Structure formats: C-alpha cells, structure tokens
C-alpha cells in the first residue's frame, strides 16, 4: 500500500480548548513546496472556510482518505527554522497559548497574511433575465457589472448595506457569482500619521470594520494610518470613529524607512579599555562562551561600574566569529541610546526590533537578520525572536525589569525564551543588572548561573552621597511644597554651578486624588474601581486604566456641592511648582504624556545632553539607562509611592527603582549627590537603597521569600477570571477551584500545591469587566502544566460560564 504525505498544521483563529496540530493531506502538486516552516492555506471547520496555517511537521501514513487537502503553499522557502518550530511547541506548553499565537510572535507583523475573499460575475450580466432576481440580488449584479472586476467581500457588503453574505451565497449557488479566496500580505510603506490602541481593556460593541482595525492593532502594536486602512480594508472615517470612542489614538511619526539611518557610524570599533575588575569579568564570560556549553551568567555591578563596556567587549569577540548577537533593553525609551551606541560602533550590521517601528520597518529589519545582512539585533523583548541561524550570545540588560514579561497572551517572559534559544544553540546568556531579580541572584548564589561582580564604579567616578529627608518635619516647619528645604537648596546650587539635576516622581498627571470635602465621596471612574487623576494639559479628570475622562469640575457627582478637593502630586504639578520655585530653571518633563510622539524621548534627551535644560522631572523612565556626566544631583520626590503595594515584589521594585535613579548622579568626573524625600524615613529599604547595598537587601528579602514560600522557593501560577457580571465571575472562580481540587487529588497527588481561595483582583473592575484571581503556589514542571492545561480546557467547555474569560499566567510580575 502506498503512503500519503501528511502535514501537521497550526491553524490561525483557533481557541485554546481545541487547538492542536491538525492533519492535512499534501496534494502531489504541492509536495515539492510543502515544507515545515512554510505557511499554507487550508480548509477548516464544517464550512471549510479558508484559513492560514503553518506546517509544523511532515509525516507519512498509509491512510489519508478522511483528511482535507492543503489548498496552497504561500512561501517559497520556510520562514521558521527547526529551532523556531520547536520553540512554537515549547511556548504552547509553557504559556497556555495556541500554536498559531506562538507562531505570530516569531514572525514580523508586516509579514502576516490575511485571507481575502472576493466576488465576481460568473456570466455576462446582459445574458441574465433580471426579473428572476430580488431587488437585493439585482443591486449586487449591477454593482459587479459596473466594477468589471472582482470585489472584496467586505467592500461589497458595505456598498450594498448587507449585514451578512447570504444574498451573495444564494447568487453563487445559482452560478451567477464566483467566489474566490486568496492570501494578501500585510505590508505597506511608512507613513507620517500613526495609530495605536489606548489602554482600554474592555471594548464597547464594534462594527465588523472597527473590529478589523482593532484586531490588526492588537497584532501589530501600532501602524501608519495608510497601512491600517489598507490592511483592514477600511477608510480613515472608521479609524476616526475609533479615536472618538477612545479606543485608538493618533501620534506623529518621522518618516524613516530605516529609522536610525541618521545615526553616524561606519562600524570602525575603537578598542575598549577595561579596568582590572572589568577585565576579569570579561575573561570569565568569554571563557564560558568558548567552552561551547552555553549556559547563563549574571553580570552584577553597581550603577556606573561599566557593565556595558564588558558585554560590548564580549560582543566584539562573538561578532568576529560570525555568530548572531541579541541585545535586549527593557523599554523603548532606552532603545535610542543603545541603538546609537551600537550603530556608532558596528554600523549597518545592527538591526532594531521594537513596537515603535512601522510594519514596513519591522519587516525590513527581520529580513536583514534572516538573510544574514545584520549580525546584531538590538531591541525590547520582541528582539529575543530575531531569526538568527547561528546564535552566539544573548544579553539581557536590566534583566530584573517587568517589561520583559508579556501581559497578554502568549504571556511569555523574554528571559525564559532566551534560555531556550541559548540552550538550542549552545550559546551564552548574559543577564546584566545593578539590581538583579531575587530569582536570578538566588540561582547565581546557588551555582545554577555563573556570577561576575563589578563592585566599584569605573574610573574616578564615585557613588553619590545620599541624604534621606523626613517630609513630616518639613510639614511641621510649614513647608508644604514638593521640595524639601535641602533639595531646594541643592537645586539652586546646581543651577548656579551650571550642573544638571534629575527628579523622580513616579506618578503622571497633575493631582492624583480627587474627593469631596462635604460628603467625602472620592471621584472615581464609573467603569473601573479606581479614582480619577487630574491632568492640567487637557484640563480633564482621567482614568489611567480605561481612558474615561470628564472636564475639570468643582461639583461633586454625589452630593452636587461645589466642594471637590484636589490633592496629591503628579509630574505635571511638579513641573508647574518647580517653575514657580525656580523661575530661572529650564525644566524638562518626561512621562508618557509628554513623549507620545515618535522619537520624542530621544529628541528631548538629546537636548538635555546638549545643555538646553537644567532639570528633568519624570516618571520611572528617567531612572534607568541615562548617563550624563553633568548630572550631579538626583532627587526622589516621593519615595513612599513605590514602597507600598499589594504585591510580594513591592519592596524589590522600590529598591530597584531608587537604587537605579540614585545611580544617575555623579557618573563622570564630578561628584554626585542624591536626596530621597519620604514620610517613612525609618524604612529599611530606603536606607539600603541609599547605600546601594544590594547584598544586605537580598539577605532580608530572600529570608521573607523562604518563610512565605514565594519565588524562588516556589512558582506562582495566577488563574484570572474576567466577565461582565460579578456574581458569575466569582462563581466561575469557585468552580475552577473545585475542579482543581478534584483533579489534583485524584490524578496529580504528587504535585506540591498551595492554593489560595479566589479573591477580587487588586483593581476589581476595569472598564465594566469584573476580575477575580486564583493563586497557586506550585512547582512549574511538565505535570503541573499538563494539569493546568486540562483545567483550562475543561472550564472552556462548560457552557454555563461562556461569558467568563479564564487565563493562566505562570510567574507574573505582579499579582492580578
């Protein structure tokens, strides 16, 4: 009996509870083209609708009569290597996503295809007896006769005013129309006007065209208006409507096909001079790389110790051997500085990966890496998927940052994906930080990672002198401004001496709390369980979760008295008061409100470096990665905001943020100083951050983690439940707990589990969606993941909870 060739295909738009690699027969005409890693068009479901998929494997079997055939192969050569195909399956298992969702992460958004359905007349309209047709059918025939070509389904439905294609199907059955489908590549040229989603987590009802725009932006992050209209098949009117609803927002974009071609640099690398401590770290790392075994190394060094010089020296060696290099930074705001540094040293061999690029730019950079034209990939977490065939090293800078973890499906952590890729290529993974995550430092202390330490600043630079100011005393002395007397004096001295200063206030907006003096009512968002923040720039009260806003008002929405009271400090208010207190100072505000336009952050920092500003005041984006020799003063305006939150990582985040921002001071030949303002000066975390004493902080934190059985002594899996009806969401969470208890006891008794009862999320309602969480302390192994997967599938098949969405997030950065 002859054998049939069968392709195992990951198909798009499946749901988790029935997702798998589906078997399709490969027709003889497609045998030469159908290879693992190639995209295909396949019939799917009872209606045999045409969907895109990707071949994961090719097998042979003796019987294939019941299998549907592959309809078309879309690629001349595989897009995914064997490593990529293995990574897809690994991500499905580890992050509870569909196979095709994992595939989309590995491909640039501009490369993705959509299936386009078109209709055309099958016969000459003059031969038809029009009286045999209904009025709707006549309209379709006349429209297509006038068009004289195939017309896209959505365009035709819109022109006819139809809500579905039943009329079109009837005409197809009568052999009056011909229906055809094909794949259209999603790629376009860069354009000036860009569109991105707002922070809405709940959508109002959308039309089909509006949903197309929304789905594309979910996939791409942002796109030019021209690209968006082309790919979604809509006019700008549809996008404008979404902007009016607050679902999307426009922002400006400078037009670069290569957005960094303006950076000078011919790739001529000057020798990097290392201190003895740096040289030792480099030699250790290079020896580990040359061993050919790969592995993970933690490069821990105090702020300003020259970690970048060490790993760039390492990059020189790896680049010389012709192997691929990935360098990740945690935020887009840090990318321009890193890219400039790498472009100046390595020229055009650098490719850039982050969501701020247009679809066309992203595709170009991906192709340059895949074709071997670029040897170094620099970017945010998406850079971890750069398609190198021979990867030598991955460097994760500021490895502790939460932005390396995706908060939407697939909920992957770039550090874990980097470990997988380095293990596959026997490459070296370098984790670099002045404040490593507790988990990484624990693994280094226990020998799972190698550890290289830089204990002193490079050259003549010294750690800044740090002062902690008790703001309770300031209030007692009649000072109710944002600046303590000591910080005000220090800022004045810096201005007189021509030096620059950085001020951290990790809250944007003007006033952060609004309430009524008469009835005590807090002015909250009607859609979210969160108070509104006043923004002076647009004179509106805004919700930072769903985007809801109302005009500035003094009238209480509860009692209608004009006694609404505004309090709290945000960056906008800080900027205003600084101008009042220091009228001669040139002040630059850096937060997400002031850096919405493309390259705004880069442009403003360039002006600061050129001496155009004296003081930066901003959110956490000013705390990391900035290296200005003329900055000799750092002020933390409200350290308490970072210390207290309902999360076991709150102290770790506070220590990290304060340590990092203090480290921006005195990085050159000038001595630095830092002033931390707080209402709880006795807090030990502030004292340790002031001393930049990570080891002492780690000792205290790891003891707490052990006592409370938190990572690294366990893994935490959070099961999230989201829905419109609070009672239903709560009931669903309890049902899931009951299913978990039964399955764990009956089939997985060997798994160590501690399960906390379901509870509302910290922000219990976001945009009219209620949220509950179930916390599981566990050991993240194959059997545990198998159990969670079975529970998710079982829950999704329960029609009683069809209105409730459930998801699993392994080791999230913050508890829901």
Beta bridge mates, 778:
715
Nearest to 275, CA basis, from 464, 463, 455, 465 = 455
DSSP string of 690-707, one letter each residue: HHT-HHHHHHHHHHHHHH
Residue 520, SS3?
A: coil
Q: How far apart are the first and last CA of the chain?
A: 57
Least Cα distance to 360 among 602, 116, 108, 596 occurs for 108
Residues 443, 447, 450, CA angle at the centre, nearest 5°? Answer: 90
**Which of 463, 462, 466, 464 is CA-nearest to residue 675?**
466
The pair of three-digit structure tokens given for residue 336, joined into one six-digit string: 């321009």
Element (H, E) at 210: helix 208-220
The answer to whether the annotation marks 66 as part of a ligand binding site is no
What is the number of other CB atoms lying within 10 angstroms of the CB of residue 520? 10
Q: Which structure tokens are listed for 100?
A: 């095709």
528 among annotated binding-site residues: yes
Task: Check whether 516 is labelled as a binding-site residue.
Answer: yes
172 is in an annotated binding site: no
Tokens, residue 102: 């994992």
Residues 113-141 as b/e (b if ≥16 CB within 10 A, e otherwise) read: bbebbbbebeeeeeebeeeebeeebebbb
Tokens of 183: 């794949």
- Please give, one letter per residue, the 3-state secondary structure of 757-805: CCEEEEEEEECCEEEEEEEEEECCCHHHHHHHHHHHHHHHCCHHHCCCE
Q: E strand or H helix at 444, and its extent?
A: helix 438-445
Whole-number Å distance between alpha carbons of 639 and 647: 17
Cβ contacts of 127 within 8 Å, gap of 6 or more: none
The two counts, helices (H) then strands (E), for the chain are 24, 34
- Token pair for 665: 């001071």
Q: Which residue has the tokens 């001349």?
A: 76
- 556 marked as part of a ligand binding site: yes
Q: Answer yes or no: is 525 a known binding residue.
A: yes
Annotated binding site: 516, 519, 525, 528, 543, 546, 556, 559
Annotated binding site for Zn(2+): 516, 519, 525, 528, 543, 546, 556, 559
């Amino acid at each position: 009996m002859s054998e049939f060739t069968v392709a195992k295909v990951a198909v798009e738009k499946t749901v988790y509870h029935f997702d798998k690699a589906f078997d399709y027969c490969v027709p003889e005409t497609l045998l030469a083209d159908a290879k693992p890693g190639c995209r295909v068009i396949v019939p799917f479901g009872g209606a045999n609708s045409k969907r895109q998929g990707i071949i994961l494997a090719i097998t042979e079997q003796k019987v294939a009569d019941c299998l549907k055939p592959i309809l078309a192969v879309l690629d001349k050569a595989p897009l995914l290597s064997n490593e990529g195909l293995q990574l897809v399956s690994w991500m499905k298992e580890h992050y509870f996503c569909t196979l095709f969702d994992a595939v989309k992460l590995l491909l640039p958004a501009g490369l993705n295809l959509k299936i386009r359905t078109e209709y055309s007349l099958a016969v000459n309209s003059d031969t038809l007896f029009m009286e045999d047709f209904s009025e709707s059918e006549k309209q379709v025939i006349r429209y297509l006769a006038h068009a004289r070509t195939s017309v896209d389904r959505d365009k035709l439905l819109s022109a006819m005013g139809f809500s579905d294609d039943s009329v079109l199907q009837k005409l197809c059955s009568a052999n009056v129309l011909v229906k055809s489908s094909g794949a259209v590549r999603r790629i376009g040229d860069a354009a000036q006007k860009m569109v991105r989603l707002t922070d809405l987590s709940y959508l109002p009802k959308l039309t089909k065209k509006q949903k197309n725009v929304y789905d594309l932006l979910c996939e791409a992050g942002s796109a030019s208006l021209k690209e968006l209209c082309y790919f979604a098949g809509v006019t700008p009117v549809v996008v404008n409507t979404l902007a009016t609803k607050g679902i999307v927002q426009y922002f400006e974009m400078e037009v670069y096909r290569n957005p960094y071609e303006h950076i000078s640099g011919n790739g001529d690398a000057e020798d990097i001079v290392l201190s003895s401590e740096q040289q030792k770290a480099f030699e250790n790392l290079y020896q580990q790389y040359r061993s050919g075994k790969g592995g993970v190394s933690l490069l821990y060094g105090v702020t300003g110790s020259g970690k970048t010089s060490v790993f760039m020296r390492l990059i020189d060696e790896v680049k010389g051997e012709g192997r691929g290099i990935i360098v990740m930074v945690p935020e887009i705001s840090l990318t321009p500085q890193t890219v400039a540094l790498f472009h100046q040293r390595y020229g055009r061999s650098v490719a850039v990966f982050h969501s701020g690029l247009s679809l066309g730019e992203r595709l170009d950079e991906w192709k340059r890496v895949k074709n071997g034209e670029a040897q170094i990939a620099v970017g945010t977490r998406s850079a971890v998927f750069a398609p190198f065939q021979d990867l030598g090293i991955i460097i994760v800078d500021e490895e502790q940052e939460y932005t390396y973890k995706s908060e939407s499906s697939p909920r992957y952590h770039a550090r874990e994906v980097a470990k997988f890729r380095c293990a596959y290529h026997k490459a070296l993974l370098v984790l670099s930080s002045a404040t490593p995550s507790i988990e990484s430092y624990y693994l280094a202390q226990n020998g799972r990672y190698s550890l290289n330490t830089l204990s002193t600043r490079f050259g003549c630079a010294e750690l800044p002198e740090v002062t902690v100011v008790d703001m309770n005393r300031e209030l007692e002395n009649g000072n109710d401004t944002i600046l303590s007397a000591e910080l005000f004096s220090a800022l004045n001295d810096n201005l007189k001496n021509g030096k620059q200063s950085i001020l951290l206030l990790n809250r944007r907006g003007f006033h952060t709390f609004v309430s009524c003096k008469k009835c005590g009512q807090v002015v909250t968002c009607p859609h979210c369980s969160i108070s509104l923040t006043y923004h002076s720039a647009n004179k509106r009260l805004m919700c930072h979760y769903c985007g809801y806003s109302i005009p500035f008002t003094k009238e209480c929405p509860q009692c209608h008295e004009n006694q609404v009271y505004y309090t709290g400090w945000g960056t906008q208010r800080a900027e205003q008061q600084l101008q009042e207190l220091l009228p001669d100072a040139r002040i630059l505000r850096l937060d997400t409100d002031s850096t919405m336009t493309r390259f705004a952050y880069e442009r403003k920092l360039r002006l600061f470096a050129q001496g155009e500003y004296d003081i930066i005041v901003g959110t956490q984006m000013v705390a990391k990665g900035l290296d200005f020799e003329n900055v000799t003063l750092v002020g933390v305006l409200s350290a308490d905001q970072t210390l207290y939150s309902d999360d076991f990582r709150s102290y770790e985040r506070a220590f990290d943020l304060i340590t990092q921002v203090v480290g921006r001071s005195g990085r050159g030949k000038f001595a630095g100083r830092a002033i931390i303002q707080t209402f709880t000066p006795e807090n030990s975390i502030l004292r340790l951050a002031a001393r930049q004493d990570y080891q002492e902080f780690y000792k205290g934190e790891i003891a707490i983690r052990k006592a409370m059985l938190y990572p690294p002594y366990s893994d935490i899996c959070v099961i999230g439940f989201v829905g419109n009806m609070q009672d239903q969401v709560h009931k669903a969470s309890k049902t899931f707990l009951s299913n978990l208890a039964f399955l764990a006891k009956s089939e997985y008794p060997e798994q160590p589990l501690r399960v906390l009862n379901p509870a509302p999320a910290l922000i219990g309602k976001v945009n009219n969606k209620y949220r509950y969480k179930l916390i599981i302390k566990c050991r993240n192994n194959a059997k545990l993941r198998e159990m969670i997967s079975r529970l998710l599938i079982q829950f999704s098949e329960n029609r009683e909870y069809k209105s409730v969405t459930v998801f699993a997030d392994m080791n999230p950065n913050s508890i829901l």
